[in-house]
Amino acid sequence: MESVSEYFGSMVFDDRVMKATLPEKVYSSLRKTIDEGAQLDIGVANAVADAMKDWAISKGATHFTHWFQPLTGITAEKHDSFITPAPDGGVLMEFSGKELIKGEPDASSFPSGGLRATFEARGYTAWDPTSYAFIKGKTLCIPTAFCSYGGHALDKKTPLLRSMEALNKQALRILRLFGNTTAKCVRSSVGPEQEYFLITKEMYEKRPDLRFTGRTLFGAKPPKGQEMDDHYFGVIKPRVAAYMEELNSELWKLGILAKTEHNEVAPAQHELAPIYTTTNIACDHNQLTMEIMQKVAAKHGLVCLLHEKPFAGVNGSGKHNNWSIATDAGQNLLSPGETPYENAQFLLFLCAVIKAVDDYQDLLRIAVATAGNDHRLGANEAPPAVVSIFLGDELNGVLEAIENGTPYHGAEKTQMTLGVDVLPRFSRDTTDRNRTSPFAFTGNKFEFRMLGSSNSIACANIMLNSAVAESLKSYADRLEGAADFKTALNELIKKTIKDHKRIIFNGNGYDDSWIKEAEARGLQNFRTTADCMPHLLDKKNVDMLTSHKVYSEAELKSRCEIMLENYCKTIVIEANTMIDMAKTQIAPAVEAYTADVAKSATAKKALDSNLACTYETGLVRKLSSLTDRIALKTEALESSLLSLHNAEDIISESAMIRDKLLPAMSELRVVCDEAETLTAKSYWPFPTYADLLFGVK
Ligand code: ADP
Ligand code: MG
C-alpha cells in the first residue's frame, strides 16, 4: 500500500503535474491566468487540454465532463468520451482547448428562476482555471462556471468568484494606504467543518421519509438520546472507523485536505474538517466531500445523512465556515501583528467585518436559509436565527477602550493609541470558548456557524466577501482623501465601534433573554426562510451586490425565486410523504394491532367470562381514538396542501406553508408518535429512533 504522501492528490491535475507535463512557456502563461486572472489564449488552452488528456488517460479516464454547481444545490456533470473516429476504423483519443474552455450543456432543466424565459434558452459552462481538474471514477472533471447566453450566472461559482474579486480590489486599496506596495492579491480562505449522520442502509431503506426527504417525519423519542453526552469525542466504532478510513483516502486522492474527524454530540453523528484553503477551492472541495461521503457510505452498507435535522429531539447537523482573508504573501489580515501599524491595520479589517455583519445581517441569514436549516436555527442546539458577533473579553476590552478613549486594562494596562501602541496578544483560549455565537472571532479568523450541513458554502461566502468589500470600500474612499491618515483612521475605527457595537454579543446565544435583548438592540430575527428570503431584494442589498458586480438585479430576482421555490417544494414533498406514510403504513399498523388486542380480549372472555380484560379494553379505546385522530389530522393536512393552490405567488405560498402547512404536519406527527409508543414493536412498520440512532455497531 502506498503511503499517504505518495497518493495524496494523485487524481488531481495540480501544480506538480502541470509543471511536469506542460512546456515551460505554457505553464507560466497558465500560472499568470490562475494567479492574476490574465486572459488565456487558445494556443495555451490547446496545450493544456492535450496534457490534461494524456494525464487523465494514463490514470484510466475515458471521459471528460464540465463539472458545475447549478442552483439545485448539488453538482452537475455530463460525460463525453475522448473518442473520435479515426480513418482506419479505429478511434483516437482527443480533447481540444475549445472543449476545455467552453461547454454547452442543455440548460433547460436547471433552475433559472425566470432568467431563461427572459433571456436565452441556452447556457454554457466556462472553465475555472483557479480550481484544479480532477478524476472521479473514469471521468476527467473540469471545474466550470455555468451561465446563460446572456451572461447571467446560473450557478454558485460565478458569483463566488465575483465576490472574491470585489474583496480583492477593496482590500488592496486599504493595504496600499498602509504602505503595502507588494501584495498582488488578497483572497479569502475557508475551512468548513462538516457534520453528518451515519445509519445503516438496511434501516434507511425501510423509512420512506428518509428516502424521499432525507429526514424522519415521524418517530417517538427513544429511551436514550444524547442526554448522557457520551458520544461527543467518544471512541469511534469499528464500522464507522472503517468508513472514515476509506473516506479519507478517497478525499486525499482528490487533493482534499481532510484533517480531523470525531464523533459529534448526537448519537450516530460525526464531523469531518479539512485544512482551510482558498474559498473557491474550499467550496468545490466541500461539494466533492459531501458527494464522496455518500458514495463511500454506500460501499459500507451505510447511508450518510447530510440533512440539517434528520431526527427530532437530537442535535441537527451544521457546517462551520471558518473564514479569513490573507495576502498572496501569506499575511493573514485578521491576525493582530507585531507592530503598531500592523495592529491598526488589523483593527481596521476587524471593524470592516463588524460593520459588514451589522449592515448585512439579513444577507447572512438569507445565505443559510433552507427548509432544513430552519429546524436548527434557534432550537437551542445551533446559533439563533439572530446574527451577532462574538469577540471575546480581551478584544472587546480593546474596542471599548478605543471607543471611550480610556486606558485598556488588559494584561499590560496601557492607554491604547492606534498606530503607536502594540495590541496585546489574544490567546486562542479566551476567544474560542463561546460555542453559541453565530459569528465568532477565533484568534485569527471568524467562524460563521449558521450554515446547514447540506448547504453549499458558496452563498455564505458570497455574502460575507461582498459585505466586507463594501465596508472596505467605504473606508478606502474616506482614507484615500484624508488630509491626515492617522487621524482619519482613528476616527473611522472609533465611529465603526460606536455605530455597530450593537452586533457584538459575548454572552450565551442559546439564552432566551438574548433574543429579547437583541430585539431591543434593533437586530433582526428572521425565524424562517419564508421570513427572510424576500429581503434579498431590499434596495440596500440589491444596491450593494450590484455595485460590486457580484450579482445583477435579474440574477438576484431569480435567486430569490429559486430559493423560495426550493423551500416550498421541499416542504410539500414532506407533507405528501407524511400523508402517504400515515395512510398506508401507520394507520393500518395501529389498526391491525388494535384488532389483535381486541381479539385477544374476546378469546380470553370466551375462556372465562369473569375475566375483566381491563388492559385490553383500555388499550383498544386509546388506540381506537388515536386512529381516529390520525385520520382527522391526515385530512387536515391534505386540505392544507390543497389550499396552497390559492397562493398568488411564491412569497404568499411560502407564507402559507410556514403558517398552515408546517403546523398541520406537526399535529399529524404528534398523534402518530403517540401511537408508536402504544403499538407493539412487531407491528410498527418502520425502524424506530432507537434502531436508527444506535444501529451502527
Ligand atoms: P476547532 O474549531 O475545532 O477548534 P480549528 O479552529 O483548529 O478547530 O479549525 C477549524 C477549521 O478552521 C479547520 O478547517 C481549519 O483548517 C480552519 N482554519 C484554521 N485557521 C484558519 C484561517 N486562518 N482561515 C480559515 N480557516 C482556518
Ligand atoms: Mg470550530
- Taking the C-alpha atoms of residue 183 and residue 177, their distance in angstroms, rounded to an integer, is 12
Over residues 351-378, the pLDDT tens digits come to: 999 999 999 999 999 999 999 999 999 7
Ligand nearest to the CA of 276: 1
Ligand nearest to the CA of 457: 1
- Nearest alpha carbon, ligand 1 atom 11: 191
**Contact 251/289 with Cβ under 8 angstroms?**
yes
- Residue 406 buriedness (CB in 10 A; 0-12 / 13-18 / 19+): exposed
What is the enclosing helix (H) or strand (E) of 139? Answer: strand 139-148
Over residues 274-309, the pLDDT tens digits come to: 999 999 999 999 999 999 999 999 999 999 999 999
Most confident residue range from 119-123, 236-240, 361-365:
361-365
- Taking the C-alpha atoms of residue 73 and residue 71, their distance in angstroms, rounded to an integer, is 5
Tell me the mean pLDDT in the region 227-233.
Answer: 74
The residue to which cell 436508527 is assigned:
692
* Amino acid found at 16: R
What is the enclosing helix (H) or strand (E) of 198? Answer: strand 186-200
Give residue 431's pLDDT: 53
User: Percent of the chain, pLDDT > 90?
Assistant: 78
What is the enclosing helix (H) or strand (E) of 243? Answer: helix 238-253
H helix intervals, 61-156: 97-101, 115-118
Reported confidence tier of residue 41, pLDDT bands at 50, 70, 90 = confident
* Amino acid found at 491: E
How many Cα neighbours within 13 Å face the side chain of 341? 8
From 260, 426, 441, 445, the mutation candidate for ligand 1 (largest count of ligand atoms within 8 A of CB) is: 445
Over residues 185-229, the pLDDT tens digits come to: 999 999 999 999 999 999 999 999 999 999 999 999 988 877 777
Q: Is the pLDDT at 14 greater than 60, yes or no?
A: yes
**Contact 469/461 with Cβ under 8 angstroms?**
no
Reported confidence tier of residue 419, pLDDT bands at 50, 70, 90 = low
Over residues 127-138, the pLDDT tens digits come to: 999 999 999 999
Q: Is the pLDDT at 435 greater than 90, yes or no?
A: no
With a Cβ cut-off of 6 Å, ligand 1 is lined by: 189-191, 193, 273-276, 322-324, 332, 442, 444-445
Of 185-194, 422-431, 613-622, 639-648, give the lowest mean pLDDT range: 422-431
Whole-number Å distance, alpha carbon 192 to ligand 2 midpoint, is 9
Strand partners, 191: 322
Reported confidence tier of residue 510, pLDDT bands at 50, 70, 90 = confident
User: Percent of the chain, pLDDT > 70?
Assistant: 95
Residue 191 alpha carbon, nearest atom of ligand 1: 14
Over residues 549-598, the pLDDT tens digits come to: 999 999 999 999 999 999 999 999 999 999 999 999 999 999 999 999 99
Instruction: Calculate Rg over the CA atoms of the chain.
Output: 28
Whole-number Å distance, alpha carbon 84 to ligand 1 midpoint, is 47
What is the enclosing helix (H) or strand (E) of 35? Answer: helix 24-36
